[in-house]
């Protein structure tokens, strides 16, 4: 069966949105609206796999939606909604809990990283999380999923779940989804340690640029970012074994929409004393308008709630239809 092109992606409302979320995901969501039918979700049910303060969860959900809107996602053209308003996500997730194998789930590196030595104490939801993510995508039969590199393994699992369901029931029902992971923004690293991914759970606020940081904080964080004493190379190969330099050049490249080689042709031979101020200026220029727009949307939470409700109603139409077919395929009596 030919599946028509549909994009789905989601972001957890579980803390500060940062530059990695913006460059690896949100910024890339926007142009896809010109070529695809797009659904962008605030995945609040994923967020509760670890404890969330109810007031903060509510606020963070509005913040992620505000970031979508401020970045240029058009809520009339695309669907923007929060996951918990479309109950079929959990229903399909249960079906997928019964399709996915324990061995597959046990190999998920993000679970191992998050649970650490504490795996007896974390929630069952955290373990089952990738089956819910597969349900998010396949509930809409999405064919393309733009994400950062850290989600690659979850998307491979989504493909395995779709293939096993199709095979078990001898039907070509779910598409084998293509991940869209590319470019210098696929993995933005911590500003304090080039071997660690930029993340909202890093205890150091200096490790990340938050989308709510003002111009002064952005400039301060870039000034304090870890670098090395060598000048920048003129060729990309010279970034090898220089993770912090590689990361800062990658951030410059993705903020400006240019290639790393192009940046090195301009800055090769210069030290960080020249490069960092240029990067700070660029980051402020690109992020300040987004920051202002987010604040403007957040001034009117009711408007955001209306957009999410309208999005959920439109998403529900697709979800209900597909879930009805899943129930028939499985043999549930209606």
Give CA separation, 188 vs 141, 219, 318, in Å.
29, 17, 34
Beta carbon nearer to ligand TYM, 9 or 322: 9
Contact map string, positions 42 to 61, toward ligand TYM, x by CB under 6 A: -x--x---------------
Residue among 183 and 238 whose Cβ is closer to ligand TYM: 183
Q: Which residue's CB is nearer to ligand TYM, number 208 or number 239?
A: 208
Distance (Å, rounded) from C-alpha 8 to C-alpha 17? 19
Tokens of residue 282, six digits = 């660029």
Looking at beta carbons only, is 187 or 271 nearer to ligand TYM?
A: 187
Please tell me the distance from the alpha carbon of residue 187 to that of residue 183, in angstroms, as a whole number: 9
Counting contacts by CB under 6 A, is residue 25 touching ligand TYM? yes
Under DSSP, is residue 23 helix (H, G, I), strand (E, B) or coil? helix
Nearer Cβ to ligand TYM (15/268): 15
Q: Are the CB atoms for 244 and 272 separated by under 8 Å?
A: no
Which H or E run includes 11? strand 6-11
CB 97 within 8 Å of CB 134: no
197-206: long-range contacts at Cβ-Cβ below 8 A with a sequence spacing of 24 or more?
A: 197/20, 197/150, 198/18, 198/19, 198/20, 199/18, 199/20, 200/14, 200/15, 200/16, 200/17, 200/18, 201/15
Question: 47 near 57, Cβ under 8 Å?
Answer: yes
With CB under 6 A as the contact rule, which of the stretches 4-12, 160-168, 210-218, 251-259 interacts with ligand TYM?
4-12
Establish how many alpha carbons lie within 13 A of residue 28's alpha carbon, considering only the half-sphere containing its beta carbon.
Answer: 25
Q: Does 250 bind ligand TYM (CB under 6 A)?
A: no
Among 37, 44, 63, 136, binds ligand TYM (CB under 6 A): 136
Least distance between ligand TYM and beta carbon 243 (Å): 13
Q: Does 184 bind ligand TYM (CB under 6 A)?
A: no
Q: Nearest to ligand TYM by Cβ — which residue?
A: 24
Listing DSSP states for 51-72 in one string gives: ---HHHHHHHHHHHHHHHHHHT
Which of 80, 188, 218, 279 touches ligand TYM (CB under 6 A)?
188
- Answer for which of 48, 80, 108, 198 binds ligand TYM (CB under 6 A) is 198
Pairing of strands 178-180, 37-42: unpaired
CB of 331 to ligand TYM, least distance (A): 27
Number of residues that bind ligand TYM (CB under 6 A): 25
Q: Which residues pair with 11 in a beta bridge?
A: 42
Contact 324, 258 (CB under 8 A): no
21 sits near ligand TYM (criterion: CB under 6 A): yes
Q: Smallest gap, in angstroms, from Cβ of residue 26 to ligand TYM?
A: 8
- Contacting range for ligand TYM; rule: CB under 6 A; set: 17-25, 228-236, 248-256, 294-302: 17-25
187 binding ligand TYM? (CB under 6 A): yes
Nearer to ligand TYM, 20 or 194 (CB): 20
List the interface residues with ligand TYM, window 141-170 (CB under 6 A).
145, 147-148, 150-151, 154
Whole-angstrom distance, CA of residue 223 vs CA of residue 218: 9
Listed ranges 94-102, 118-126, 130-138, 276-284: which one lies at the site for ligand TYM (CB under 6 A): 130-138
Q: Which residues bind ligand TYM (CB under 6 A)?
A: 8-12, 20-21, 24-25, 43, 46, 133, 136-137, 145, 147-148, 150-151, 154, 185, 187-188, 197-198
């Amino acid at each position: 069966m030919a599946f028509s092109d549909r994009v789905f992606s989601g972001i957890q409302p579980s803390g500060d949105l940062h530059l990695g979320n913006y460059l690896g995901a949100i910024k890339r969501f926007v142009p896809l609206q010109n070529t695809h039918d797009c659904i962008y979700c605030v995945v609040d049910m994923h967020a509760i796999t670890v404890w969330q303060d109810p007031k903060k969860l509510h606020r963070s959900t509005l913040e992620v939606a505000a970031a979508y809107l401020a970045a240029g996602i058009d809520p009339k053209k695309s669907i923007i909604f929060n996951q918990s308003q479309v109950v079929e996500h959990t229903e399909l997730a249960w079906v997928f809990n019964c399709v996915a194998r324990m061995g597959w789930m046990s190999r998920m590196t993000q679970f191992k990283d998050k649970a650490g030595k504490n795996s007896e104490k974390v929630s069952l939801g955290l373990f089952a999380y990738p089956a819910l993510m597969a349900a998010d995508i396949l509930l809409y039969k999405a064919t393309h999923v733009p994400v950062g590199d850290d989600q690659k393994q979850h998307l491979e699992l989504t493909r395995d779940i779709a293939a096993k369901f199709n095979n078990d029931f001898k039907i070509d029902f779910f598409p084998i989804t293509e991940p869209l992971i590319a470019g210098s923004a696929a993995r933005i690293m911590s500003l304090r340690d080039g071997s660690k991914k930029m993340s909202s759970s890093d205890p150091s606020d200096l490790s990340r640029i938050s989308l709510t940081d003002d111009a002064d904080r952005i400039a301060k964080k870039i000034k304090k970012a870890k670098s090395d004493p060598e000048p920048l190379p003129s060729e990309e190969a010279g970034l090898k074994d220089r993770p912090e330099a590689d990361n800062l050049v990658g951030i410059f490249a993705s903020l400006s929409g240019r290639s790393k080689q192009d940046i090195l042709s301009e800055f090769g031979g210069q030290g960080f004393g020249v490069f960092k101020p240029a990067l700070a200026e660029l980051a402020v220029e690109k992020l300040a308008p987004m920051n202002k727009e987010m604040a403007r949307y957040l001034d009117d939470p009711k408007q955001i709630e209306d957009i999410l409700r309208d999005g959920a109603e439109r998403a529900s139409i697709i979800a209900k239809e597909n879930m009805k077919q899943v129930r028939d395929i499985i043999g549930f009596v209606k």
